């Protein structure tokens, strides 16, 4: 495979651009092809079979563009079909997952909140992450229906978005959480609004830097790093 080939990045919408941004920052020599499935966003309320079908269609397109690696920049799609794509493809496949373990290492109060879609929070992958987290850390699940739609609409600080954030974030802070895990790639677009809602001293954990580091390792091993 050609080290000059591009990297394919896909998400249900524009959220994966937060991952693409981090890849470009850490691997400036690489070219990216980004596929945002904005016609069918969101994936969080889709069936497992539908998400698998959508992801397979997108990967076929990315393969037709000659990519050397595939980044699943969508927590929901990663939870549903990352393993099957890794078994199918003869190239590096890197997914994304809520940064529960980094969040558990970061917290000072011993309480973290995980903001994510309902589908991600219900996944076996997420349950596994919680099972291997330190037992002394309390993890509060926070499904956030509607937040992805706000980002897709470019509504980062509208009254509707801020009302949703108050609904989701304030109970986490009141419960003692000092660390919020952004378990959807759309949510970093709302980082400023989340900090405004949560107040001072709250740490936000974005998994995108870890994805870029893992991609670098996966490309470096077979000599595919550009």
81 labelled catalytic: no
Give the strand pairing for 32-36 and 69-72.
unpaired
| Active-site residue (options: 74, 81, 142, 150) | 74
144 labelled catalytic: no
| Active-site residue (options: 142, 144, 150, 184) | 184
What's 98's DSSP letter? -
Backbone angles phi, psi at 103, to 5 degrees: -65, -40
Dist CA 72 CA 77 (whole Å): 7
Sheet holding 93-94, edge to edge: 32-36, 7-11, 69-72, 93-94
What's 195's DSSP letter? H
Do residues 15 and 184 touch, judged by C-beta distance below 8 A? Answer: yes
Half-sphere exposure of 189 (CA within 13 A, CB side): 22
Residue positions annotated with a catalytic role:
74, 184
């Amino acid at each position: 495979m050609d080290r000059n080939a591009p990297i394919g990045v896909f998400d249900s919408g524009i959220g994966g651009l937060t991952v693409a941004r981090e890849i470009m920052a850490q691997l400036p020599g690489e070219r990216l092809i980004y596929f945002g499935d904005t016609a069918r966003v969101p994936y969080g309320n889709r069936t497992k079979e539908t998400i698998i079908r959508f992801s397979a269609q997108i990967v076929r397109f990315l393969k037709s563009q000659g990519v050397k690696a595939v980044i699943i920049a969508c927590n929901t799609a990663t939870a549903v079909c990352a393993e099957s794509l890794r078994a199918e493809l003869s190239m590096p496949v890197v997914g994304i997952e809520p940064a529960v373990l980094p969040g558990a290492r970061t917290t000072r109060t011993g309480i973290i909140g995980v903001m994510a879609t309902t589908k991600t929070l219900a996944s076996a992958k997420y349950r596994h992450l919680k099972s291997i987290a330190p037992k002394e850390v309390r993890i509060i699940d926070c499904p956030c229906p509607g937040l992805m739609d706000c980002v897709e609409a470019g509504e980062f600080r509208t009254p509707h978005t801020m009302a949703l954030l108050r609904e989701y974030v304030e109970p986490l802070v009141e419960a003692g959480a000092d660390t919020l895990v952004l378990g959807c790639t759309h949510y970093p677009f709302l980082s400023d609004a989340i900090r405004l809602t949560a107040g001072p001293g709250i740490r936000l954990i974005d998994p995108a830097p870890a994805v870029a580091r893992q991609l670098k390792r996966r490309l470096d091993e077979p000599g595919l790093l550009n």
